[in-house]
Structure 1
Amino acid sequence: MEKDQSLTRRRALIGGAAVLGAAGVAGTARVRTAAPGNPAPLPAAGPQAPAVREPSAFRLLPMTGDGPPSGGPLRPPVRSEPLLHVPGHGRTMVLSFDDGPDPRYTPAVLKTLRKYDVRAMFFVCGGMAAVNKGLLAEMADDGHVVGNHTWTHPLLTRLRRSQIHSEIARTSDVVEDACGERPLWFRAPYGVWNRAAFQIGADLGMEPLAWTVDSRDWTTPGTRSIVRRVEHGAAPGVVVLSHDAGGDRSQTVRALRRYLPRLLDEGYHLTVPRRRYS
């Protein structure tokens, strides 16, 4: 009974998805180095923003809407570009972490998010998730959204359609096994998409989500540099890209501890999607 209750809770937590704005990437592909952090016309955040500390219930408030209809989640459309940012509902931002889970860094990220009552999105790789299912369950139990980032993090445009399907479907299987529900969000490795990736992702019930602010933590530029990029790019509607695996992510962990309380003090709602785009 206790196991069934835990599974039901995880399904309720991971099953959320948001109404995201479809300001997308031109063409059929986007690479991480293509400076995706300048979407227009998002208003810039500045130091003049009033410092606001709200109770945890406010910080955890979902971005919009209720859960999926009682009849089950809708099948997403086949898109030609990934979703990039959240529509303006106050000072709402999304933090996302790719490539994990990694037992060296993911627990520290989860601990920091828990300390400030903040939820985030984790786009996991199946190969990492399969040997760290406990961390996936912890993500779901904490209210984070677990997304699909393929099995081996390949460049999808170099794969056959059957290989793309395997990379994505196997990862969804692992997420379902660990969390009790298949993921509703998909992010292509390197931010590179093609028609097959969009079609297969939709067929498997997922929306494609990219980002609007790249922390570039994957280049290990130093903690201060990561903090500066996130804080400079902070604005209503942005999705921040960071990583909790794929290399030495100690700078990412330290940067999160610095910028997260500052963003909260500036009145940002750092939360997760709750309902799929329809």
Structure 2
Amino acid sequence: MRDALRLAATVAAALLLAACGVRSAPGSGKAAPGPSGSPAQGTGSSAPAPAPVAPSGNPPGQATAPAAPVGQAPAGTAPPGPTRPAGPSEETIHWYVPSIGAPLRSDDPRAKGKKVVMLTFDDGPKPETTPLILDVLKRENVKALFFVTGYGAKNEDLLRRIHEEGHRIGTHTVNHTLLTRLQGRDAIRAEIEPVNQVVERVTGQRVRYFRPPNGMYNADVLAVVKELGLELINWSHGSQDWVLANTRKDPAEVVRYVLAEKPPAPGATVLHPGAVILMHDTLPWTAQALPDIIAGLRERGYAFVLLDP
């Protein structure tokens, strides 16, 4: 009897040790590539106009940015799927943009050799499409940076949802006005401050990031941005989703441009480590392309990261 008790205790202890040694694998924190366009300084529109950007180089201080997509399209539905587990430790690493339009960088030794991207969405939020994009991001456990306009910020419920689901919110002017065409700093300030105030009132968090329409800026824009305590963030890789507004509106084309490792067209950028990817949450074909973009980025070994809040 005593031997039987000893045997049972030994088996129980072995089972307990085995259970303690099992760990679930961390989820992949990788993102999908997007079409490229290079940021510029000058006048902007709702969607940026692409200019080639070298993956590892810094864009010129003053250049032209991509033209933004215009138009409203019918809403779709985000494809169902399981929620992704939390990504790895990239979230604890501090990433920053060393100069306007440059790829992300980190001075943390843990960042060495990591392939990361940051997804950014301009022009929204828009009730027909932004919820679809948020659904995909939530399901895939990916966080993004949204640059909202004044007319988009009227959708306060969506602003609140973007914030509550852990995304960053920057601003993109009240009316998507090309700031380089405005006369004087007061006019520039009047295009930036009001939307910042709305975002801060709705979310309770100070706005830190600003993207000028079309990526265009000049000395006056930079002075106002600095005065308001903002950081100007353009992009290093454009999805070209705005170009499709006048063509086939094919989600597969957005995926192709984002994941491209060779220029898919003249003036297009290519996917690269640290890419700040430009897309628009106002476009239905971008919402449809997003699941494949995220999957493609993960397949290529990329993780998704964000700037500090």
- Match in the other structure for 2:222: 198
Using a 3 Å threshold, how does the CA distance of structure 1 residues 36 and 203 change in structure 2: closer, same or farther? farther
Matched, 1:82 2:100: yes
Is contact 2:100–2:233 with CA below 8 Å preserved after alignment? yes
Q: Secondary structure at the match of 1:64?
A: coil
Alpha-carbon deviation of 1:236?
A: 1.1
Alpha-carbon deviation of 1:262?
A: 2.3
Q: Secondary structure at the match of 2:278?
A: strand
Work out which of the residue numbers 277, 284, 287 in structure 2 matches 1:250: 284
The TM-score, its normalising length taken from structure 1, stands at 0.73
Is contact 1:148–1:187 with CA below 8 Å preserved after alignment? yes
Alpha-carbon deviation of 1:158?
A: 1.1
- Match in the other structure for 1:158: 181
Q: Secondary structure at the match of 2:159?
A: helix
- Match in the other structure for 1:56: 86
Q: Secondary structure at the match of 2:285?
A: helix
Work out which of the residue numbers 223, 228, 233 in structure 1 matches 2:256: 228
Aligned 1:1-278 pairs, distance under 5 A: 29=42, 32-40=48-56, 55-58=85-88, 61-64=91-94, 82-87=100-105, 89=111, 90-129=114-153, 131-160=154-183, 161-220=185-244, 221-232=249-260, 233-245=270-282, 249-274=283-308
Q: Deviations over 1:25-79 (max 9, x none)?
A: 78x548632414433359xxxxxxxxxxx941427714417xxxxxxxxxxxxx9
Q: Which has the larger radius of gyration?
A: 2
What residue identity is the alignment partner of 1:236? P
Q: Deviations over 1:58-110 (max 9, x none)?
A: 27714417xxxxxxxxxxxxx9x724320163111000000000000000000
Alpha-carbon separation, structure 1, partners of 2:275 and 2:195: 26
Alpha-carbon separation, structure 2, partners of 1:187 and 1:214: 14
What residue identity is the alignment partner of 2:253? S
Using a 3 Å threshold, how does the CA distance of structure 1 residues 204 and 41 change in structure 2: closer, same or farther? closer
Using a 3 Å threshold, how does the CA distance of structure 1 residues 235 and 30 change in structure 2: closer, same or farther? farther
Q: Which moved more, 1:264-273 or 1:135-144?
A: 264-273
Q: Which moved more, 1:86-95 or 1:143-152?
A: 86-95
Alpha-carbon separation, structure 1, partners of 2:167 and 2:218: 27
RMSD: 2.6
Is contact 2:123–2:280 with CA below 8 Å preserved after alignment? yes
Using a 3 Å threshold, how does the CA distance of structure 1 residues 148 and 116 change in structure 2: closer, same or farther? same
Q: Secondary structure at the match of 1:201?
A: helix
Is contact 1:94–1:270 with CA below 8 Å preserved after alignment? yes
Alpha-carbon separation, structure 2, partners of 1:244 and 1:59: 27
Using a 3 Å threshold, how does the CA distance of structure 1 residues 25 and 216 change in structure 2: closer, same or farther? closer
Alpha-carbon separation, structure 1, partners of 2:251 and 2:49: 19
Is contact 2:43–2:180 with CA below 8 Å preserved after alignment? no
Q: Secondary structure at the match of 1:118?
A: coil
Is contact 2:39–2:236 with CA below 8 Å preserved after alignment? no
Q: Secondary structure at the match of 1:126?
A: coil
Alpha-carbon separation, structure 1, partners of 2:256 and 2:116: 19
Is contact 1:60–1:117 with CA below 8 Å preserved after alignment? no
Q: Deviations over 1:216-255 (max 9, x none)?
A: 111225211110111113321110000012xxx1110111
Alpha-carbon separation, structure 2, partners of 1:120 and 1:33: 21
What residue identity is the alignment partner of 1:121? L
Alpha-carbon separation, structure 2, partners of 1:200 and 1:150: 12
Q: Deviations over 1:183-236 (max 9, x none)?
A: 100000011101111111111111001101111111225211110111113321
Alpha-carbon separation, structure 2, partners of 1:195 and 1:158: 12
- Match in the other structure for 2:10: none
User: Structure 1 unaligned runs (5+)?
Assistant: 1-23, 43-53, 66-78
User: Structure 2 unaligned runs (5+)?
Assistant: 1-37, 59-83, 261-269
